[in-house]
Amino acid sequence: ERLNLMIPSSSHLIDLYNICSHPQANIYTPKGLHNSKLDTQRWIEKWQNHWQQYQFGYFVLVKKIDCSVIGICGYEYRQLKQETVLNLFYKLHPSFEGQGYACEPITAITNFVNYIDQETVKVIRTNKCNQRSINLVNEINLTIIIIFIVATIDFVTSDSYYFNIILKIQNI
């Protein structure tokens, strides 16, 4: 209701760089910290390629009231322990955290992706210390998406030490 969801483009470069280079926005994903606008441009290109290949991906979150970019959210295919999954990712500028801006797009995007791919397991990975994401899981659990903790594990992937909780998203 409060947000427009837009496919990422170069027109979002500065706004996305300001989010992706903000230390607080990357506190639980330090490898996601962008050191230059070129880093952000590469991510935008990667996101666009996913869109071209699969007809879905990450969305830029834009406030309807003033057209300000507040974050990014969406799904992309990932390999986790030899299984292809749809990984839910979201990142908000810290000044918009804690205001309910993540629930709205996650619900809408999950419904959209379910229309395209209902079969692939959908997951959200987070750090066990990331209380905002854990609270978000509980909030969404009360609305449309059933989410449960599968396990607390260490992944074998290169970013494994950042993500030690995996939550599986199931359809109702």
Q: Is the pLDDT assigned to residue 37 strictly greater than 90?
A: yes
- What the block records as the tokens of 101 is 């801006």
pLDDT at residue number 166: 53
Name which residue leads in pLDDT, 6 or 151.
6
With the C-alpha atoms ordered 16, 22, 27, 31, is the resulting torsion angle positive or negative? positive
With the C-alpha atoms ordered 125, 96, 46, 144, is the resulting torsion angle positive or negative? positive
Give this prediction's pTM. 0.81
Name which residue leads in pLDDT, 59 or 30.
59
Q: Average pLDDT of 120-129?
A: 78
SS3 (DSSP) at 13: helix
